[in-house]
Amino acid sequence: MTYSRDEKKIRELKIAFEQKTWQETKANDSWSVFKTMSELVEGYETLSKIGPCVSIFGSARTKFDNKYYLMAEEIAYRITRLGFGVITGGGPGIMEAGNKGAHYSGGISVGLNIDLPFEQHENPFIDRDKFLNFNYFFVRKVMFMKYSQGYIVMPGGFGTLDELFEAITLIQTHKMIKFPIIMVGKDYWKGLIDWFKSTMLAAGNIAEKDLDLFKLVDTAEEAVNEIQEYYKKSNLKPNF
């Protein structure tokens, strides 16, 4: 196969770029291991001291006057009154609402922030000694999974779905102790859950019982009641 002069130049540049990228990838591997270990150790040391918590997820783009922002704030306030702390991703939107509700109730308010080029910045309602900043999403998710006794999932985007599906998968495959997963906002989540039933379940890709791994509610009161009732029925203390 022959190439024109321009095609040959483009091909050479592409090969050089790919080789450079691969060499850089290999060169960074060892340092990445140490950075990962550092984030894991800091996360374990900080969060092992906080006691039982519920994590609240949702969009960073949600405005302070949005009904779901106000609902997340109320949920966090009520949750901390039950003795739980609140963990969020530490940023704006729903995360800010969760930390705000916990802060004004006098409860524990934890923020697990992530370095991003946009959207994400630390909100002012996190306890100063309970703020962690992560470079790696996967390390941050380990902290959410390990130190949460429940998930409140508010309307959000891809990041919220990522955290939701990670939890469902780990519980479904018995890789993590089961805890309540509460999806808030029937209008928002209805299409997704209908698809679970009409497509995934119908194709045999999930079992009927897998649909019981989460609950769908519409109010702050319902969300908090689901958390409370779960631990009453299971006879488990929330800091198992």
Are 107 and 194 members of one domain?
A: yes
Are 45 and 56 members of one domain?
A: no
pTM of the model: 0.84
Amino acid residing at 169: T
Residue 4 structural domain: 1-49
CATH number at residue 74: 3.40.50.450
Distance CA 152, CA 95 (A): 11
Asked if 111 contacts 126 with a C-beta cutoff of 8 angstroms, the reply is: yes
Are 12 and 82 members of one domain?
A: no
**Tens-of-pLDDT digits for all 240 residues of the chain?**
554 666 666 666 555 555 556 566 666 667 788 889 999 999 999 999 999 999 999 999 999 999 999 999 999 999 999 999 999 999 999 999 999 999 999 999 999 998 776 656 789 999 999 999 999 999 999 999 999 999 999 999 999 999 999 999 999 999 998 999 999 999 999 999 999 999 999 999 999 999 999 999 999 999 999 999 999 887 655 543
Are 82 and 58 members of one domain?
A: yes
Per the structure, the count of domains in the chain is 2
CA angle 39, 80, 151 (to 5 degrees): 55
Q: Is residue 21 a part of any domain in this protein?
A: yes
- Of the chain, the end-to-end C-alpha distance in Å amounts to 66
Are 145 and 174 members of one domain?
A: yes
Residues with Cβ within 8 Å of 51's Cβ and at least 6 positions away in sequence, in order, are: 85, 108, 239
Q: Is residue 240 a part of any domain in this protein?
A: no
